[in-house]
Amino acid sequence: MSGDDRKLVIGIDIGTSGARAVAMAADGRAVASGAAKLSSFSADHRDPIGWWKAVQAALEETLGSIDRRNVAAVAVDGTSGTTLPVDQNGAPLATPMMYNDPVADRALLDAVSAHAPRESAAHGATSGLAKFLVFQMVPGAFRVIHQADWLAGHFSGLYDVSDENNALKTGYDPVTRSWPDWIEKTGARVDLLPNVLPAGAPVATISPAAAEAFGLSGDVVIVAGTTDGCASFLATGAEQPGDGVSALGTTLTVKLLSDRPLFAPEYGLYSHRIGEMWLAGGASNTGGVVLAEHFSPERIAALSEEIDPAVDAGLDYYPLIKPGERFPISDPDYPPRMSPRPADDATFLKAIFEGIAGVESLAYQRLTALGGPPLRSLRSVGGGAKNAAWTAIRARKLGVPLLSVLSEEAAAGTARLALAGARKAGVL
């Protein structure tokens, strides 16, 4: 085995409850992993010191299973829209605002609304730009950066670099690959915006301090990361235009890899740039939340055994627990359609499965109608993906191959970015 054959990269994911690291070989195999809960280090999920300690613990667990000298690159993903102001040395200057923390200052929100193009992802009280406008007022701020940027800075020593995916909700334009002129019109101090690189681009070699702290080689490349959502998509193995990934969780989320950007603000739809591809997605209000309204998990499992997925129930359901839909129909008053209800519970469950699958099919048709490629294959994640009857119904409704996922670990998707960056840097 040559030295290059032994080379490994590491992807690190920081989520809402913990950190995870995955070591990956050049052929895409995950060879080691580690995890740590944020609660083990801090009672406050907004505590950046707790983030870093969880990352350290997850990384050390991973490194304990491999030869540290073989690590060639590291990349980090974080929760989209989580931001914090830092000084020149990376020290946090205020409590971070998480991805779902809203900005209450109406004047700041109005400033964004007045100047941001309608297709920009910077709209809304939880946007990265709204939080930027809050944090730029903090005395001594050197930059206002994102969670993944800050953690990656602990490896590179640089706290002024971001990636195109994390910067999207702060107003970055992924089409022109630049901070647009309109941002300054909102009152934003553009000198506090980070420098932005494509996800998967080499940023710098590891800092001497980080190399020593983790026992890594001094030529390890730190690679621009991504958001946790994009990382989860990349982890599945989807990589060609027309590859889709459906998340069957509490709600239904669909994502499609496209060769062109898709923007449709009426659906809350925008596109992340990953290499020369575009990742577009939408979220429906249907999904597991509807199933849970009517059946326990145990009852769903038992009834699923009675379902013949090859025969349609003939009930045109649009399953929702209350009026209102986001995608593929944008209507805050859109009514649920779940009647008539059959006397037989198995038939009722089957009709719900078919209804959700119909929404899923319509969602991918909508993405195509908005300019995306036709769906060519589908991978599924989330609890619903494990139900065989539902999977067979979805295959019948969607009419494309349902492929297995390589991984559901966001850290594995970030490791794939690290592989790309290592190759660009010539260290793999």
pLDDT digits (tens, 9 = 90+) for 28-60: 999 999 999 999 999 999 999 999 999 999 999
- The label of the residue with tokens 């559901």 reads 408
Q: Spell out the domain ranges in the chain.
A: 4-230+410-425, 240-403
Q: Is 343 exposed, middle or buried (0-12, 13-18, 19+ CB in 10 A)?
A: exposed
Choice among 129-133, 279-283, 349-353 with the minimum mean pLDDT: 279-283
Predicted confidence (pLDDT) per residue in 203-250, tens digit: 999 999 999 999 999 999 999 999 999 999 999 999 999 999 999 999
- Decide if 9 contacts 428 (C-beta within 8 A): yes
CATH topology of domain 4-230+410-425: Nucleotidyltransferase; domain 5 (3.30.420)
Could you tell me which CATH number the domain at 240-403 has?
3.30.420.40
pLDDT in tens, 276-305: 899 999 999 999 999 999 999 999 999 999
CA dist 54 → 19, 61, 74, 302 (Å): 6, 11, 16, 39
Residues 6+ apart with CB under 8 A from 24: 8, 9, 10, 11, 30, 31, 412, 415, 416, 418, 419
Between the alpha carbon of residue 327 and those of residues 162, 259, 383, the distances in Å are: 29, 21, 21
CA 282/CA 256 separation, integer angstroms: 9
**Is it the case that residue 89 has pLDDT exceeding 80?**
yes
CA 151 to chain centre: 17
Same fold across 4-230+410-425 and 240-403: yes
pLDDT at 268: 87
Would you say 118 and 84 are in contact if contact means Cβ atoms under 8 Å apart? no
DSSP codes of every residue in 84-98: EEE-TT--B-SPPBP
Angle in degrees, CA 258, 262, 264, rounded to 5: 150
Pick the closest to residue 55 from 97, 22, 80, 86 (CA basis): 22
Residue 359, pLDDT score: 98
Q: Does pLDDT of 4 surpass 70?
A: no
Q: What percent of the chain is predicted at pLDDT more than 70?
A: 99
Strands 71-78 and 8-14: parallel
**Burial (CB count within 10 angstroms: exposed 0-12, middle 13-18, buried 19+), residue 402:** middle
pLDDT in tens, 184-203: 999 999 999 999 999 999 99
**What pTM does this model have?**
0.93
